[in-house]
Structure 1
Amino acid sequence: MRLPPIPPQDLTGDQRRLYETLQAGIAKQFGGFQTARADGALLGPFNPWLHEPEIGQAVWDLTEAVSKRGALTDAARQVAILVTGSRFKAAYELYAHVQVALEKGLKEDKVATIVAGQRPSDLTAEEAAVFDAASNLNAGGVLPRPVYDRVVAAFGAGGVSELIHLVGLYAMVCITLNGFDVPVPEQQVDPAP
């Protein structure tokens, strides 16, 4: 871990404003995984964002904008996020979104196969379209037209736009996590009381 989590009492004014925004958004959008230490210091990508609040606020605004779209099903969103986390081998991202994917109804073996970097054989047609699109986007290059068309057929033009932005957002989150060597919560030590 290259950036120490910031205890709430040590936050600057800009950091405090972002911290409060993040806490409210986390409570609304993310459950089932640890996002803070016992002392309230944020973990995961939230900590690097607090270290650079101007960047952090911009990334959070993008996160909220992409999250509000709603064209993709919950399962499809999680497939795309897990494909991206697996591509970048981002430990915290996989830790968090495995939990979210299970909560959203994806079966454990399907999640495990995606996290292993493989394509499950039991994907629904919608999940398969998203898996293939996210895999192609993460590999680089132009998204092939037949893959693009399958996502449009499944979710409409708004859905393919949401998917492309979602994959780009989570690629950035994964790069942030990997660049700052952000571990899963179990690998972080809470400060002594």
Structure 2
Amino acid sequence: MSTAATPPPANIPQGFFPSTADRMPLMPREAMSPAQREAADAIIAGPRKAVFGPFIPLLRSPQLMGRVGDVGAYLRFESTLDARIRELATCVAARHTANQFEWLMHAPLAVAAGVAQATVDAIGDGRQPRGMADDEAVALDLSFEVLRQHGCSDATYAAAVKTFGEQGVVELVSLVGYFVMVCWVMNVARTPTQAKPGVAPLSAFPA
């Protein structure tokens, strides 16, 4: 029987730029300012339990990190939207920004929440999913239109309000915007993420 230690999962570079060096790695606690330690402790004490992903670069601005964390905690854990819709929209934002961290985290969460694997695969491949539930199709239409057109048509808006209500529409658009924001922060910082068994990372779209 082998006693060799299992190697940790390989890191996947963030984004598709020629240089993939992590620009803003997690700083040691002793190097943090009092404000940074306070912000880190607040994240650790909350539902996330650790400083990881976008909160590593956001720690450079501890007050911003705390406010971003509060917004994200509401949208992820307290929103009126069903978890299936939240995770579906998060996958759309991750694919739109080519962000590996959020994709590898939320693609399996979407499936666990009830989104079909074929739907998640289509989003990851940049294809239009087929055969979705009606509310998923409405959420996808709104998410795509907001990302591509920075607004939405009257028809898409009417369908979204009918399906989710005005509060749900505001929260869905805010969720997409939140995840685009944190994905951008990680893309600029080139925050790496670990490979996850059984979850394929995003591929670069053809130029």
Q: Could you say whether these structures have the same fold, taking a TM-score greater than 0.5 normalized by the shorter chain as the test?
A: yes
- Separation in 2, partners of 1:68, 1:103: 15
Q: Distance in 1 between matches of 2:62 and 2:84?
A: 31
Give me the whole-angstrom Cα distance separating, in 1, the residues matched to 2:48 and 2:52. Answer: 14
Cα deviation per residue 1:2-25 (whole Å; 9 max; x = unaligned)?
101123343321111111211233
Which structure exhibits the higher relative contact order, with contacts defined as CA atoms closer than 8 Å and separated by 6 or more residues? 2
The equivalent of 1:55 in structure 2 is 64
Write out per-residue CA displacement over residues 86-127 of structure 1, whole angstroms, 9 at most, x where no aligned residue. 011011111111132133232322211112222211211000
Task: Report Cα offsets for 1:56-112 as digits up to 9, x if no partner.
Answer: 112112212333553211111111111111011011111111132133232322211
AA at the equivalent of 2:40: Y
Backbone CA RMSD of aligned residues: 2.0
2:164 corresponds, among 139, 155, 162, to 155
Task: Classify 1:27/1:178 alpha carbon distance in 2 versus 1 (closer, same or farther; 3 Å).
Answer: closer
- 2:59 counterpart SS class: helix
Q: What residue is the counterpart of 2:118 in the other structure?
A: 109
* 2:109 equivalent in structure 1: 100
Q: Are 1:43 and 1:185, in contact at CA under 8 Å, matched by a contact in 2?
A: no
Amino acid at match of 1:87: H
CA offsets, 1:143-192, max 9 Å, x none? Answer: 11111111111111111011111111111111111111112124xxxxxx
Task: Identify, as 1 or 2, the structure richer in helix.
Answer: 1
Q: 2: distance between equivalents of 1:2 and 1:14?
A: 21
Distance in 1, matches of 2:55 and 2:163, equals: 32
TM-score scaled by structure 1?
0.82
User: What is the CA–CA distance in structure 2 between the aligned matches of 1:108 and 1:148, rounded to whole Å?
Assistant: 27
What are the equivalent positions in structure 2 for 1:3-18 lying under 5 Å apart?
3-18=24-39
Q: Displaced runs of 4+ in structure 1, greater than 6 A?
A: none
CA distance in 2, matches of 1:161, 1:43: 27
Counterparts of 1:125 and 1:143 in 2: how far apart (Å)? 18
Q: Which amino acid aligns with 1:12?
A: S
Q: Which residue of 1 aligns with 2:79?
A: 70
Q: How far off is 1:51 after superposition?
A: 1.8
3-state SS in 2 of match to 1:51: coil
Question: Equivalent residue for 1:119?
Answer: 128
Identity of aligned pairs, percent? Answer: 28
| Alignment size in residue pairs | 175
Contact 2:25 2:191 in 1 (8 A): no
Matched residue type, 1:6: M
The separation in 2 between residues aligned to 1:51 and 1:102, in whole angstroms, is 33
- Where structure 2 has 5 or more consecutive residues not aligned to the other structure, the ranges are 1-21, 196-207
Query: Which amino acid is 1:85 matched to?
Result: A
Whichever of the two has the greater Rg, that structure is: 2
1:95 to 1:55, Cα distance in 2 relative to 1, 3 A: same
